[in-house]
Structure 1
């Protein structure tokens, strides 16, 4: 049995008065608080134990001996002894309140509680019509939306449903018939079994199918065709009533001298719904039934269009039909659908069906028959125009006169094409009507000015209309009068309402002294123009215009010269300096490469971390300035759901998403992480349908991949987001602050002014160069020999960053590298750029600086403070000849020695305590604490690194480029590719100190460390050194 829609079940439970239904069955209910109580009818109840809650539509027996419970449908089901479907039908049709009150539930009823659709004294034809009328009502009254949806999917509308009395068998007929153990029920059921409606089991023969009656001679029902709405079922999709298939579908078609014959009823209805009403069917892809053949000859049909399916069976059947009709002197034309399609599939695929089917009819070739020698191949004409008529199966009340009445004529639908005899003439008729030129004189803001000759129409308020159902605007018509002042008329009108249009035409004609016909014609042109504008405006969000700036020949030449520069990376750094960004060489280069990685399928992500006013935003702005504006999106903050709705013009695919402060995107961190990992975002949200006003589920999707660029002052960043990004820290040394100050002062010199004027040219050059970069795949011939640290799980993600860094360097140098075209199978080819050892070497150098920092368990600023504390403790040990473990210091002493703020020390000292680089002890006085340094200063050589990377120089020394593969093989054969790391403490399996971090710790703050200063330096830092250690305010100046 077809499933009852859940919303219908809920509607019945919500709208039916549960208390009234129970009272109608003889149960006395009394109010008690917000509930109703009474004696339970399902057991011998002396004390009221039945509790009914009308507000919730529920009932429950509180007796332990019973415990029955449920809703209104379940009560009727249990009390009346009927099925769930039967109870639902009773309540839906209002029969749940009828019947004599009784307190005796029925275990299983045998008396129908719904009126039977078949009269006991009806003859066979009358009974068959009554059953088909019932099936039709079950479909027409929207009792079975799934069946209506199926017909709509097949292109069959309400007009055809009414004309052919189409119905649906939903297995509710048996609920309305008396049981077979009753005399009346046995007679009705025996008759319906004889007619084929019921099977011997009592089930309906055509259950779960839409049914199409077929008329036999004299207007009787010849047979009934059933089509299953569920193609996935195990039952046959096509089924007729048992017995011979008598009758002609749509006998009104025989009034035309030309008839279309299809293979099935649904194909015939496809032609009928498209306006070709002279169509019938032979029920199969075989020779025509004798009844139909005799009817065609009796009606003197001169031409038959055979519209069978375009498959082997259809072609064979068409030949048989053509042979049949040729013997009787009837011309046959074959309607040629695309291979494997039938009429319905073709009409649904090629719309509008009126035109597509008309084209096939006009092109149908003549097969056999009289006059075939005079017909040119492929020049068959379409059927001549006929009155659009339809067959209506007469209802039961009209059964007496059904046979003698002609089928009523259905009105032609507006826009239905009229098939014609000549294709050339049809082509002329299909040409659109010539529309006089309407000049759009102005379209700015909310005002549109249209000019038609000496008449000017001004339209305001079009943008306020959000759909096509209304077009409410303010219209002003101005007519120029020679030798006098212009005449005009102004009014507010809904152009979709005919009455308002007529009123405007009448009033405007009076005010402007123009003929009403002229005003009406002008208003029609204005309406068509506004509808086109409205359609374009409503489609704009779904189909954003792609604004792709073109690169001029001069820009292309300069950009290619840049991309072909052998020292491209040095050139990029020089151009950064020319644009006023000093220092930060590694950060600038990594940021630029990360921006280029947006063109790859798995782009890099970057977080710039520093204290406030250190220049992190200036670094991000400098990198973004080199990127074409159309390929970057920048926000100050993002709400939690904002990313999911960045569609349309804000599409993020292969773009940069820059967020000024990571705190501004804190609520959107989950979406950012998902976008970086998955490359896309999708969300299902509820919204209001603009046409129906109902709440519906709407899906929003944002396509990636996208390069994410963030800045932050936070020390603690979401670990999940952090391990997806490259972490860059700004140089906060005193030397960098001096360089920034010098650059800021240089802006106001003559050279600075000249540099600021040339900055635009530098940026334009790089933007053009990036537009010329193609998103190529990268082939790395050394990929299987690359090595990477594997002692932590998170290196699985960092290894991907390393590989993408190599790929990005190769893509940036694509105009200097070999481009290969590879065969991907299936006729597909792809281009890829070949990575070189120079690309790997450049990526290795940057990986030591960036991934070494990312893999360090300690943030750079915390490690910097640890180095300063270690130097101060070492100096005190030397001066006082003390052991390191005996030195104690307070936060105030650290603040005075380093110049750091108390807020900074509060955060970083707590982190060092957590990581057990510092120990806390109770102070000898008061409630305070003092610190002890347990870090011995191991590995403070000042260089960041990642152990385990491929030794590129060793490969270079093994041979030329032509023998690179052998060199790689030799590395894998027995030579460690990581020998250059042997002397680094990070490469050893054991740490050099008891609490040594796994990676190079220092960020290179102190000049003496970078210049090879000894790690055992014990001199007390002087005032200049402490000043150098203090975090400086400043920023990377961008001219």
Structure 2
């Protein structure tokens, strides 16, 4: 449900919505549950809720017109105070309804007495436990909601409050049990009346709390009730409300199960269940249930939540009338079926959707370890891609392989492969994915905006999420952005409960993180995805096209067939090597010595990609690094450290993936850049500074390079715009000075990332303590 639909639902029925929302928050507040238990008020059937001050986050900003209008409406019905605070914040709540079950009011009791003097509050109208008026012919009449609540929590669901009722509600009632001496008995002259006493205590709740350790102490007081007036009924003793029969053991049920449905036979009654597999949230069992009576060939079918008492009650009543079976018999059957389905649901929950772990042979393990321990691992990866028929694209192969490997990091890399149509982007993406274990990747062609929220048992944690085309996920780009940045997704949605029609709140969560790999032909990729992904352009040169055509022809020969068979073994070896990699923390002791261009805000994201690329290289080389151990708060944590060699490899790939070629500049602008660098390089030898540290003005550059003022000004501005030169000062009539960011690499047109530090120049970090020191404090 989007924000507009959510706000419309609040506006349509604010009291019902807030009652349902508070009920959804109760399970997230264990201390409140303990409070209810300690005060003899815990009851799963009363729709108890708790106001934990989170409702305001659902509302539009108070500065907007929609926010002001919605808050004024909520204040008018009493949900919000005039100050804008929730009326029931810090209260446990129960709904008040009419006899049809519609929520028309809310009653609340404060949990923490120290937070205010007002211990209880009520908004709206309605009756506490109104369902008892149409369900039972015997009622327990209490003096306040707290006492009736206490009776219901103890299992006596026929408790009501005297002040909420009039004579009309007592039609069909035969007996009243009065639970408060303050109730006026003159209104009940035509009914049998008994008085329940609670010796030594002022109220029902006080008595129940004093006898918490006893088994149903209120039942003993009901049985000890004394007759007051009215004609005695045929009851020899005060009867308890009819409860569901105790279900028989479920192991002896005659059950047949298929992929789509479950059929259970109990005597002459058959129950067909559909939709159980769609229930992935504990405490929910929404199913389609059909009941057959084989004696008269009648049947009843409906959709309900078996875990919801009201849904069961409505279903039992309608089913009993339609197929001519006693309601108590059906109630017993439903109890047994509920236990059986709960058992099946629990069994299904223990079965993971993940494929069983691949069992490597000793030979496969040895070959995979040889690959991971190869000193020239990246070269072997490139050679193996060539053997599998993927020619060229060195940058894309290594960047993609490392992005896929980074799935094991807490902040994985993403990869977008960009090219025109039919240039080979899908072939490169597919080849990268083939080298990864099948159990570590999830592939799809497109996604809707809400699809990621409903993955259920489909785990994405530390997996590769591959999408065929970026266009297919434009509706879900926001969700993908969150999944990459936050590592998880969360959605709160509302739906109608089967049977009752009431609005219920459900929470859906998906755990990440994921390494995202996708392709696109568009030059206008969502900026949010670009910020989080490496972007690799396919080589569309004539030479690359010729190499691809040659490989296609070679694949048609016998030698090509042999190469294809060898490729299958290579792919299998890489998949096994990836299975051997462990999810270890990676730390970079050289991080503070590294450099990176920082003239634009987007460089903050690019810098994070660069650091993640270094960690991905180290993670891939983990079996060539020492695994170290550190003690933190008594827990031993294993980790690996980045080496200078890792940084050198990452720098090379960063040049390809994040850098640019000076060939993108126009001829004169490119010539000026090279001349500027050469001039500053010569000056650096005499002043003992790096070329990038020397500051100059336009006059000095004109005199040194012999350029005219017009030409120099024009092309110098273009270099500033393209971030090869940075301007310093020049405002308010001050002298404008410049310094170059270009470091002299890539003169032949190779891509290069400005600002990187040569790994060979990094100093060995000084360690202040051994890695085994306990850092717990």
- Fold conserved between structures, TM > 0.5: yes
Pick the aligned partner of 2:480 from 659, 663, 672.
Answer: 672
Aligned to 2:588: 780
Between 1:690-699 and 1:765-774, the stretch displaced more is 690-699
Pick the aligned partner of 1:225 from 203, 211, 217.
Answer: 203
Q: Distance in 2 between matches of 1:580 and 1:609?
A: 20
**Shift, 1:809, TM fit:** 1.0
Q: Distance in 2 between matches of 1:142 and 1:443?
A: 36
Q: Is the 8 A contact 1:609 1:713 kept in 2?
A: yes
Aligned to 1:849: 656
What is the 5 A alignment of 1:365-376?
A: none
Change in 2 beyond 3 A, CA 1:534/1:699? closer
Pick the aligned partner of 2:211 from 255, 262, 268.
Answer: 268
Pick the aligned partner of 2:153 from 148, 151, 156.
Answer: 156
Q: Is the 8 A contact 1:821 1:830 kept in 2?
A: yes
Q: Distance in 2 between matches of 1:736 and 1:721?
A: 28
**Shift, 1:157, TM fit:** 4.3
Deviation per CA, 1:164-208: give whole Å up to 9, x if none: x8x5999x99xxxxxxxxxxxxxxxxxxxxx999xxxxxxxxxxx
Pick the aligned partner of 1:606 from 393, 415, 424.
Answer: 415
Structure 1 position 588 matched with structure 2 position 397: yes
Q: Is the 8 A contact 2:414 2:534 kept in 1?
A: yes
**Shift, 1:612, TM fit:** 1.4
**Shift, 1:153, TM fit:** 9.2
Q: Distance in 2 between matches of 1:527 and 1:966?
A: 68
Q: Distance in 2 between matches of 1:685 and 1:650?
A: 19
Aligned to 1:952: 759
**Shift, 1:526, TM fit:** 13
Change in 2 beyond 3 A, CA 1:409/1:531? closer
Aligned to 2:238: 408
Q: Distance in 2 between matches of 1:699 and 1:845?
A: 45
Change in 2 beyond 3 A, CA 1:433/1:835? same
**Shift, 1:814, TM fit:** 1.4
Q: Distance in 2 between matches of 1:277 and 1:558?
A: 72
SS at match of 1:159: coil
Aligned to 1:628: 437
Q: Distance in 1 between matches of 2:320 and 2:152?
A: 34
Change in 2 beyond 3 A, CA 1:169/1:885? same
Aligned to 2:531: 723
What is the 5 A alignment of 1:88-487?
A: 139=128, 141=130, 156-157=153-154, 159=156, 162=159, 214-216=197-199, 223-225=201-203, 265-266=208-209, 268=211, 271-273=214-216, 390-392=223-225, 408=238, 410=240, 443-445=257-259, 462-463=273-274, 471-472=289-290
Q: Distance in 2 between matches of 1:687 and 1:836?
A: 53
Q: Is the 8 A contact 1:449 1:458 kept in 2?
A: no
Q: Distance in 2 between matches of 1:142 and 1:851?
A: 67
Q: Point out where structure 1 has 5 or more consecutive residues left out of the alignment.
A: 12-69, 75-91, 94-136, 174-194, 198-211, 217-221, 228-237, 239-248, 250-264, 281-388, 418-431, 478-488, 507-519, 872-882, 887-910, 918-936, 959-963, 969-1039
Q: Point out where structure 2 has 5 or more consecutive residues left out of the alignment.
A: 1-9, 17-72, 78-96, 99-125, 133-140, 167-180, 184-194, 279-284, 303-314, 672-706, 711-717, 725-743, 769-777
**Shift, 1:503, TM fit:** 13
Structure 1 position 790 matched with structure 2 position 623: no
Q: Distance in 2 between matches of 1:793 and 1:168?
A: 67
Change in 2 beyond 3 A, CA 1:656/1:740? same
Aligned to 2:382: 573
Change in 2 beyond 3 A, CA 1:434/1:10? closer
Q: How many residues align?
A: 536
Q: Distance in 1 between matches of 2:388 and 2:240?
A: 78
Aligned to 1:840: 647
Q: Is the 8 A contact 1:460 1:475 kept in 2?
A: no
SS at match of 2:751: coil
Q: Is the 8 A contact 2:273 2:287 kept in 1?
A: no
Structure 1 position 644 matched with structure 2 position 453: yes
**Shift, 1:846, TM fit:** 0.9
**Shift, 1:545, TM fit:** 3.4
SS at match of 1:224: coil
Structure 1 position 965 matched with structure 2 position 772: no
SS at match of 2:493: strand
Aligned to 1:552: 360
Deviation per CA, 1:439-460: give whole Å up to 9, x if none: x8x85545879999xx9x9999
Q: Is the 8 A contact 2:262 2:274 kept in 1?
A: no
Change in 2 beyond 3 A, CA 1:690/1:415? closer
Structure 1 position 616 matched with structure 2 position 425: yes
Q: Is the 8 A contact 1:214 1:225 kept in 2?
A: no
Q: Distance in 2 between matches of 1:527 and 1:277?
A: 23
Structure 1 position 820 matched with structure 2 position 628: yes
Q: Distance in 2 between matches of 1:499 and 1:642?
A: 36
Deviation per CA, 1:922-965: give whole Å up to 9, x if none: xxxxxxxxxxxxxxx9985312222332322234xx8xxxxx33
Q: Distance in 1 between matches of 2:604 and 2:294?
A: 69
Q: Distance in 2 between matches of 1:767 and 1:407?
A: 74
Aligned to 1:686: 494
Change in 2 beyond 3 A, CA 1:787/1:528? same
SS at match of 1:965: coil
SS at match of 2:368: helix
Q: Is the 8 A contact 1:435 1:525 kept in 2?
A: no
SS at match of 1:831: strand
**Shift, 1:768, TM fit:** 1.9
Q: Distance in 2 between matches of 1:152 and 1:564?
A: 68
Aligned to 1:769: 577
Q: Distance in 2 between matches of 1:767 and 1:572?
A: 12
Change in 2 beyond 3 A, CA 1:619/1:806? same
SS at match of 1:658: strand
**Shift, 1:533, TM fit:** 5.6
Deviation per CA, 1:497-528: give whole Å up to 9, x if none: 7999999999xxxxxxxxxxxxx9xxx99996
Q: Is the 8 A contact 2:391 2:551 kept in 1?
A: yes
Q: Which structure carries more relative contact order (alpha carbon 8 Å, separation 6+)?
A: 2
Change in 2 beyond 3 A, CA 1:791/1:528? same
SS at match of 1:687: strand
Q: Is the 8 A contact 2:290 2:301 kept in 1?
A: yes
- TM-score normalised per structure 1: 0.43
**Shift, 1:587, TM fit:** 1.1
Q: Distance in 2 between matches of 1:226 and 1:941?
A: 90
Change in 2 beyond 3 A, CA 1:469/1:732? closer
**Shift, 1:966, TM fit:** 6.0
SS at match of 1:627: coil
* Structure with max Cα Rg: 1
SS at match of 1:581: coil
SS at match of 1:808: helix
Deviation per CA, 1:575-612: give whole Å up to 9, x if none: 21121111111210110000011111101111111111
SS at match of 1:607: strand
What is the 5 A alignment of 1:526-537?
A: 532=340, 536=344
